Amino acid sequence: MNFAAGAGFTKGFEIMEATNSLRPFFEPREIVVVGATRTPGFGYGIPIMLQQQGWGDRLYLVNRSGGEMHGMKVFERVADVPGDPDLAISVVPAHAVPEVLSEIGERGITHVIIESAGFAEAGDKGKAIQKEAQTVARKYGLRVMGPNCVGVINTENRFTSVETIEESLSPGNIGIIAQSGVFGTVLVDSLPGRGAMLSKVMTLGNRMDVDECDALEYLHKDPATRVIIMYMEGVGENTRIREVLGKVTRDKPVLILKSGRTSVGRAATASHTGSMSGEDALYDALFAQTGAVRANSLEELVEMARVFATQPLPKGNRLGIITSSGSLSALATDVAVSSGLILPALSQTTVDKVMEKAPLWMSAKNPLDVGPSDQYVKALPLLIKDPGIDMVVAITIVPFSVLQKCRHLGLTAESLYGDIAALHASIPYKPLLICAVGHRDYLDHLAEISGPEVPVIASPETAAVTLAALWRYSIWKKNFEPTV
């Protein structure tokens, strides 16, 4: 780089800083949507979505047809757009993208989200178009997200480059990085409904420029993001991933779901399998060496996100289980123990207090099975306060019919289990999960009384898996001082 060229050293440096940062993707000054349309599709939905979220006064629409659309003037060319936009969202067909990027670069816009498909993922012709687009982008120093993605969501300022449901825009602390736009949407549609609110979402698509390392670094520094979840199909030639993952996990957990045994699946349809599973083992090693937490299924990723987003790191691996179902606690125990947790005996003080008014058939073991007694409300706080216990799974099972029929007698989930939200608030340094299986209305009710900080997990095995992951991450993190 020639420091003497361009707008002088200081100005050049500022531009470089701004250009290198991903901030304008999430906090644009003003936005241009190139390829706005009157008919359904991205070019139709995105302008309306932005207007609805309060971005109408910082929005410009571009379409060769000009005229008016969604109550706004439509500019024929990016060059005609007034104001001070720093972000363009391009939804024009792939073949038109290189030219549009030139216009964007000439206009001085620094950041572009390319949402259209038909690039490197779509054969040789698409590959050629992507290469051409990349050349233009580099010429102007553009930061590009995509192509073949849906861009970003920032719940803090309700900026979104993708149509989404209102509840997904409620601020939270989970950051999502997805290569695929559809997969990002899957998470955005399903997480908030389970009480897991989002901070930022990035879908990377073909990663022409912005890749998972950039995304990780951005969310690393993002104060709104407490936990990063990531869907990965492969990092290609990316040699930075090891360094970046290792850096981010010192401060924030990174939960990763990786497919890529896909290629094993495809290879298996041919005659030979062999080598590709070795590749997957390399990812296992990468994650282990960098402190990233690997989820074994989409469901596990989602549940881990809920737990990491709400629970403190445990001080040790000593799990206490309280239950009204011996069967469910047995299932949770199996998985907890095979995942590295232990279930120590309760302290004598806890045992004595638990048994004070307990029926004869009860015994204060771990798991602590209170059966159909009325001892749950009293025993749960005793268990979580036991100095030998680092975290608790509270399995809350009651026949739904009993709750329905005895509501008039004052029997409610609160009367059975106590004020779970308040209990967690009073001992915020020990992870606490509710586990229940049963009628959907019952689970909804439990979620209500447990509050936003205590996840209700609908599987005893998953409850144990998530806490074991939380503990393993705590061990990793203990090695480092915080950097953010």
Please pick, from the candidates 16, 79, 128, 165, the single residue that binds a copy of itself as defined by CB under 8 A: 165
Nearer to a copy of itself, 39 or 239 (CB): 39
Nearer to a copy of itself, 106 or 374 (CB): 374
By the rule CB under 8 A, 387 interacts with a copy of itself: no
Nearer to a copy of itself, 22 or 343 (CB): 343
For residues 208 and 137, the answer to whether their CB atoms sit within 8 Å is yes
Please pick, from the candidates 51, 53, 273, 412, the single residue that binds a copy of itself as defined by CB under 8 A: 273
Restricted to residues 407-466, the positions that interact with a copy of itself (CB under 8 A) are 409, 411, 437-440, 442, 458-462
Question: What phi and psi, each to the nearest 5 degrees, are found at residue 254?
Answer: -120, 115
**Residue 98, preceding peptide bond in cis (omega within 30° of 0):** no
Question: What phi and psi, each to the nearest 5 degrees, are found at residue 219?
Answer: -70, -25
By the rule CB under 8 A, 179 interacts with a copy of itself: yes
What residues contact residue 327 under an 8 Å CB cut-off, 6+ apart?
none
Please pick, from the candidates 199, 333, 350, 375, the single residue that binds a copy of itself as defined by CB under 8 A: 333
Interface mask toward a copy of itself for 336-375; x: CB under 8 A: xxx---xxxx--------------xx-x-xxx-x-xx---
By the rule CB under 8 A, 82 interacts with a copy of itself: no
Please pick, from the candidates 37, 324, 375, 450, the single residue that binds a copy of itself as defined by CB under 8 A: 324
Please pick, from the candidates 217, 233, 251, 414, the single residue that binds a copy of itself as defined by CB under 8 A: 233
Nearest 10 degrees: Cα torsion 78, 80, 83, 85: 0
Piece of the chain touching a copy of itself by CB under 8 A; list 205-213, 304-312, 376-384, 397-405: 397-405
By the rule CB under 8 A, 96 interacts with a copy of itself: no
Restricted to residues 291-310, the positions that interact with a copy of itself (CB under 8 A) are 297-299
Nearer to a copy of itself, 458 or 467 (CB): 458
For residues 154 and 26, the answer to whether their CB atoms sit within 8 Å is yes
Please pick, from the candidates 63, 161, 317, 329, the single residue that binds a copy of itself as defined by CB under 8 A: 329
Piece of the chain touching a copy of itself by CB under 8 A; list 237-245, 281-289, 332-340, 347-355: 332-340
Minimum distance from residue 160 beta carbon to a copy of itself (Å): 10
**Number of residues in contact with a copy of itself under rule CB under 8 A:** 88
Minimum distance from residue 387 beta carbon to a copy of itself (Å): 16
Please pick, from the candidates 358, 397, 413, 420, the single residue that binds a copy of itself as defined by CB under 8 A: 397
Minimum distance from residue 234 beta carbon to a copy of itself (Å): 10
By the rule CB under 8 A, 262 interacts with a copy of itself: yes
Please pick, from the candidates 7, 128, 268, 285, the single residue that binds a copy of itself as defined by CB under 8 A: 268
Restricted to residues 105-164, the positions that interact with a copy of itself (CB under 8 A) are 117-118, 121-123, 125-126, 162-164
